[in-house]
């Protein structure tokens, strides 16, 4: 590992690289109640939120829409000022030292490109080079590496407007990393991408995290992103952290189920393979639910041995379903 | 649903669409008032120098200013109404969907635009006019019949304006960059509608030309009806003639464009 | 711990203060050991801002040049469109010889100064009225994660070289006026012309910034800004004698538009200002421009602070 991959933050790491301590964010919302009248209402978007993320961790940050995800990210990047509590990223208070922090973080907004629409991709990178004051040698080195890993070589001279969604996302990720950020925030990095592009983006992020030790915080609706990338997942709902731990544990906590879709050669009575149970039969196709915490492999092996199998696939539970189950669990408990 | 009710619903939709932008409307009223104020003083200076210029007295000239501000958005002198959307639909090819709708393309957009015009007349016309009447001695008619005649001329003006902008929008079928045509269109409209200066103040032959052009139907014609400076019947006749000619031209261009879409396979 | 929580350090790039700041006696002293002094901070910030502005405008110019034909068309269109105001004046003078006691070259002088000054401001930061849109669609956030002052980034946003059309048009009228106007030129009067253009441009810039700041609060209100910028420019094309005294007072003492061109131009033309101000007031536009810029800077800061606390 050369010097480029090491960061001398020079800040105390006493309580995590990203430290969020009882942070809250209260919005005042005006609601129109009549033609000219309106009433003010307080909305607690983030409520006494506390967590820490160590340097080099890769954390999935998930929750339903409006749960406070993006508000948290906005506070961590210095866009929004918290209403209370303490927040530090690399020892920096984001809202007070926004521009200093900006040098040390990278942000990718999934649906808003920061690339220059009418100009060749390389022009956007040249701007980053100047704007972030990246030393020439480091810039060239990083650019070469990113171009190689993200397969951007053929795209550098293509105007951004002609790039596909997946190409543009890869371009955006490269733009966010040219200045060697220590933290990378990704907001829905795989949204709208095809399977191949998703795989490329995930493979790259894994490599980045392993090779450079970049801390990654990722919001997503795609559980596979989390499954393939993050050892740790945080779930936020109604502004509060409702889960913080491994993904497997989340499945347990939510008692969620994955679905095995089995295509048989012919119509057969429901497959018997406990603990999986058949939830739906449609001609030769059967749907089996099994606990998400279990591996699918033994189940598949058993079915393959006992039934005339044509094809099968595993469907992941989606985040909304997992969280909904978690709630059902908690209220019934 | 009867055809009449269909277009009424489209018009109501056009009205409601603009009605949702409350802040923008309030800001627009403010702008109209500020510009009305500035223009009113310059007209006062002009008519101080030449009383009865263009056949108006001072009160009429001042009234003209505020009628202009009230109608600027209503008859869409500066564009920016439905035509931007229509051009965008032509550019993206979505227009093919519209052509399969069980409604007439031209009438559909006309209905929506008239709905918008009504909203702009009420929301951006009335208030600046009231401020103008409060600050300056305007020559406003007291007979309701004159007001009714004025509204009829405004309606016809809105139709002529639509017909022109429909033609402008359809050029997007042939030209890559519709923005250039739209810009030429609004500059011409500003100059020839009487928004810049009453058309009867324009000198000599230039004056005669601009008064004969269709844009005179937008501001000058309704203003003259309100000020009692022209015979409403003659004004209507001219507006109707332009509306008929331009709408017919729009239809011809539309069918040529449709053939083009069909030939290209949409 | 509370000290640690609220004390914080001063941002060397963009200090954002909020209501949660503790009373003065609990704040760390301004001369924080490893921070630059506030004076240096301001200077550094301006320099950083200009640098970011230059970088971003260069990108927009490159973008524009990707469509050369369209650029030529829109520049010409901009020139013609902005010339309409002067055409109206010409039409008026086809029917009269004086307006408000002023002859055509004198009014052209007023027009040329106001249109050129406004054109310069419009060229420099004319897209600031799009701020409301950026707030609405959330793209302002992408600017807030960059290591550059947001004001500079917003000012450079959509930098349109086509706006040279307006400047050119104003400069042409000014050129005609300088040739035609009946003035005994002294060195002072000559010097006053470029000074006026510069100060006037800055006053209009301040208006653009203040208007954008207002859009943090009312995102759909870009038209209010237009009333002051475009409206102000239109007002200043005509001599003050045309307008009511109260209006002239308003644009002299409340919203100091009169310093854009009226006061210095009337001095050059040897005309009395309707409000009986001392003659040296004609030379104060640079000071007024500086004050306007400072005020609009404060307004901007307040607007941005409110955005960052409400996020809407």
Contact criterion met (CB below 8 Å) for C237 and C83: no
Omega before C242 within 30 of 0, i.e. cis: no
The whole-chain average pLDDT of chain A stands at: 83
pLDDT of amino acid C260: 97
Q: How many contacts, defined by CB atoms under 8 Å, are there between B and C?
A: 99
pLDDT tens-digit series, residues B222-238: 999 999 999 999 999 99
Quickly count helices (H) and strands (E) in chain A: 10, 13
Query: Under an 8 Å CB criterion, which residues of A touch C?
Result: 27-28, 71, 74, 77-81, 83-86, 93, 95-100, 102-103, 105, 107, 109, 112, 114, 116-119, 123, 127, 130-132, 159
> In chain B, where are the structural domains located?
3-258
- Higher per-residue pLDDT: C133 or B260: C133
Residues in chain C within 8 Å Cβ distance of A132: 147
pLDDT of amino acid A14: 46
pLDDT tens-digit series, residues A174-207: 999 999 999 999 988 888 888 888 898 899 999 9
pLDDT of amino acid C69: 84
pLDDT in tens, chain C (312 residues): 332 222 222 222 333 333 333 333 333 333 333 333 334 578 888 999 999 999 999 999 999 888 888 888 889 999 999 999 999 999 999 999 999 999 999 999 999 999 999 999 999 999 998 899 899 888 899 999 999 999 999 999 999 999 999 999 999 999 999 999 999 999 999 999 999 999 999 999 999 999 999 999 888 888 888 899 999 999 999 999 999 999 999 999 999 999 999 999 999 999 999 998 999 999 999 999 999 999 999 999 999 999 988 765
- Closest listed residue to residue C209, CA positions, set C151, C161, C132: C151
Strand A58-62, strand A18-32: pairing: unpaired
A27·C149 Cβ contact <8 A: no
Q: Which residues, listed in sequence order, are joined to residue A264 by a DSSP beta bridge?
A: A309
ipTM score of the complex?
0.90
Residue B41 is nearest to which of C223, C224, C242, comparing CB atoms? C242
Nearest CA in chain C to B30: C224
pLDDT of amino acid C121: 97
C84·B30 Cβ contact <8 A: no
Question: What is the H or E stretch that residue A258 is in?
Answer: strand A257-264
- B43 min Cα distance to partner chain C (Å): 9
Q: How far apart are the first and last CA of chain C?
A: 31
Q: Is the pLDDT of residue A3 over 70?
A: no
- Closest listed residue to residue A189, CA positions, set A165, A210, A214, A208: A165
The DSSP secondary-structure symbol of A320 reads H
Selected residue of C45, C53, C138, C147 to mutate for chain A interface (largest A Cβ count, 10 A): C147
Q: Give the pLDDT band (50/70/90) at residue A231.
A: confident
pLDDT tens-digit series, residues B136-163: 999 999 999 999 999 999 999 999 999 9
pLDDT of amino acid B180: 80
- C95 min Cα distance to partner chain B (Å): 7
By mean pLDDT, which of A130-144, A296-310, A317-331 is the weakest? A317-331
Q: Which two tokens stand for residue B40?
A: 């009113």
**In angstroms, what CA-CA distances link A291 with A71, A255, A300?**
33, 7, 14
pLDDT of amino acid A271: 77
- C134 min Cα distance to partner chain A (Å): 12
Nearest CA in chain C to A44: C310
> In chain C, where are the structural domains located?
5-20+44-304
Contact criterion met (CB below 8 Å) for C20 and C5: no
Contact criterion met (CB below 8 Å) for A37 and A210: no
CA atoms within 13 A on the CB side of C29: 4
- Higher per-residue pLDDT: C264 or B3: C264
Q: What's the average model confidence in pLDDT over A38-60? A: 89
d(CA B122, CA A139): 59
Selected residue of B32, B49, B65 to mutate for chain C interface (largest C Cβ count, 10 A): B49
- Higher per-residue pLDDT: A30 or C30: A30
Contact criterion met (CB below 8 Å) for C22 and C7: yes
Q: Is the pLDDT of residue B99 over 70?
A: yes
What percentage of chain A has pLDDT greater than the value 90?
Answer: 43
d(CA B9, CA C65): 45
Contact criterion met (CB below 8 Å) for A121 and A164: no
Which residue reads 């609009």 in tokens? C296
d(CA A129, CA A136): 8
**Which parts of A71-229 are beta strand (E)?**
84-89, 105-109, 183-187, 215-219
């Amino acid at each position: 590992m050369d010097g480029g991959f090491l960061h001398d933050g020079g800040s105390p790491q006493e309580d995590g690289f990203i430290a969020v301590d009882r942070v809250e964010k209260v919005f005042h919302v005006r609601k129109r109640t009549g033609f000219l009248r309106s009433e003010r209402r307080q909305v607690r978007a983030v409520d006494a939120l506390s967590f820490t993320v160590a340097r080099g961790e890769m954390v999935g940050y998930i929750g339903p829409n409006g749960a406070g995800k993006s508000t948290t990210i906005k506070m961590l990047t210095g866009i929004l000022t918290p209403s209370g509590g303490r927040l530090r990223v690399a020892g920096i208070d984001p809202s007070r030292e926004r521009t200093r922090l900006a040098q040390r973080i990278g942000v990718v907004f999934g649906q808003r490109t920061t690339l220059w629409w009418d100009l060749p991709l390389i022009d956007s990178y040249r701007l980053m080079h100047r704007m972030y004051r990246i030393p020439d040698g480091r810039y060239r080195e990083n650019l070469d590496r990113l171009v190689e890993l993200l397969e951007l070589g053929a795209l550098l001279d293509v105007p951004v407007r002609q790039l596909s969604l997946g190409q543009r996302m890869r371009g955006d990720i490269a733009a966010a990393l040219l200045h060697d950020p220590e933290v990378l925030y990704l907001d829905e990095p795989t949204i709208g991408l095809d399977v191949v592009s998703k795989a490329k983006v995930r493979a790259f992020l894994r490599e980045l995290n392993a090779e450079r030790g970049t801390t990654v915080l990722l919001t997503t609706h795609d559980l596979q992103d989390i499954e393939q990338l993050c050892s740790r997942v945080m779930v936020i709902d109604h502004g509060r952290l409702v889960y913080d731990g491994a993904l497997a544990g989340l499945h347990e906590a939510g008692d969620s189920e994955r679905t095995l879709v089995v295509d048989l050669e012919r119509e057969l009575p429901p497959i018997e393979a406990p603990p999986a149970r058949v939830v739906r039969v449609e001609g030769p196709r059967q749907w089996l639910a099994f606990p998400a915490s279990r591996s699918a492999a033994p189940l598949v092996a058993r079915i393959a041995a006992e039934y005339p199998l044509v094809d099968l696939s595993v469907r992941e539970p989606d985040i909304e379903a997992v969280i909904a189950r978690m709630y059902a669990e908690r209220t019934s408990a | 649903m009867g055809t009449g009710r269909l277009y009424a619903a489209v018009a109501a939709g056009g009205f409601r669409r603009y009605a949702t932008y409350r802040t923008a409307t309030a800001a627009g009223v403010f702008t109209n008032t500020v510009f009305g104020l500035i223009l009113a003083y310059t007209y006062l200076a002009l008519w101080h120098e030449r009383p009865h210029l263009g056949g108006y007295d001072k009160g009429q000239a001042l009234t003209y200013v505020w009628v202009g501000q009230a109608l600027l958005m209503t008859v869409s002198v500066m564009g920016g109404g439905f035509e931007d959307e229509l051009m965008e639909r032509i550019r993206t090819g979505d227009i093919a969907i519209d052509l399969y709708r069980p409604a007439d393309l031209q009438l559909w957009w006309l209905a929506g635009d008239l709905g918008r015009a009504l909203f702009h007349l009420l929301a951006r016309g009335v208030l600046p006019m009231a401020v103008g009447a409060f600050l300056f001695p305007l020559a406003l008619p007291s007979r309701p019949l004159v007001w009714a005649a004025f509204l009829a001329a405004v309606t016809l003006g809105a139709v002529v304006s639509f017909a022109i902008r429909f033609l402008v929008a359809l050029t997007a079928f042939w030209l890559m960059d519709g923005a250039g045509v739209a810009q030429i269109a609004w500059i011409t409209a500003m100059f020839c509608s009487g928004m810049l200066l009453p058309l009867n103040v324009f000198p000599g032959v230039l004056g005669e030309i601009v008064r004969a052009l269709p844009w005179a139907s937008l501001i000058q014609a309704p203003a003259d009806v309100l000020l009692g400076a022209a015979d409403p019947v003659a004004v209507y006749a001219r507006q109707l003639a332009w509306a008929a000619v331009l709408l017919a031209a729009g239809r011809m261009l539309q069918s040529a464009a449709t053939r083009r879409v069909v030939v290209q396979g949409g | 711990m509370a000290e640690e929580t609220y004390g914080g350090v001063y941002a060397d790039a963009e200090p954002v203060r909020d209501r949660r700041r503790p009373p003065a006696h609990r704040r760390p002293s301004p001369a924080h050991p490893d921070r630059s002094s506030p004076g240096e901070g301001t200077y550094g910030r301006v320099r950083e801002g200009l640098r970011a502005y230059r970088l971003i405008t260069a990108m927009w110019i490159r973008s524009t040049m990707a469509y050369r034909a369209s650029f030529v068309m829109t520049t010409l269109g901009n020139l013609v469109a902005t010339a309409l105001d002067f055409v109206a004046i010409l039409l008026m003078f086809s029917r009269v010889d004086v307006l408000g006691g002023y002859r055509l070259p004198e009014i052209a002088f007023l027009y040329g100064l106001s249109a050129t000054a406004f054109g310069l401001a419009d060229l420099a930061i004319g897209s600031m009225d799009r701020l409301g849109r950026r707030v609405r669609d959330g793209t302002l956030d992408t600017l807030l994660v960059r290591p550059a002052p947001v004001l500079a980034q917003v000012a450079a946003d959509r930098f349109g070289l086509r706006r040279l059309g307006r400047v050119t048009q104003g400069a042409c009228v000014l050129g005609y006026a300088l040739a035609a106007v009946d003035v005994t030129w002294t060195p002072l009067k000559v010097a006053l012309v470029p000074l006026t253009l510069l100060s006037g441009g800055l006053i209009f810039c301040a208006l653009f910034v203040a208007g954008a700041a207002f859009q943090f609060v009312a995102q759909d209100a870009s038209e209010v800004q237009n009333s002051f910028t475009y409206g102000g420019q239109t007002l200043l094309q005509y001599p003050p004698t045309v307008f009511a005294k109260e209006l002239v007072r308003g644009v002299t003492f409340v919203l100091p538009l009169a310093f854009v061109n009226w006061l210095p131009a009337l001095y050059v033309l040897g005309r009395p200002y309707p409000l009986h101000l001392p003659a040296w007031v004609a030379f104060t536009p640079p000071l007024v421009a500086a004050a306007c810029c400072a005020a609009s800077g404060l307004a901007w800061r307040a607007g941005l602070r409110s955005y960052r606390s409400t996020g809407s």
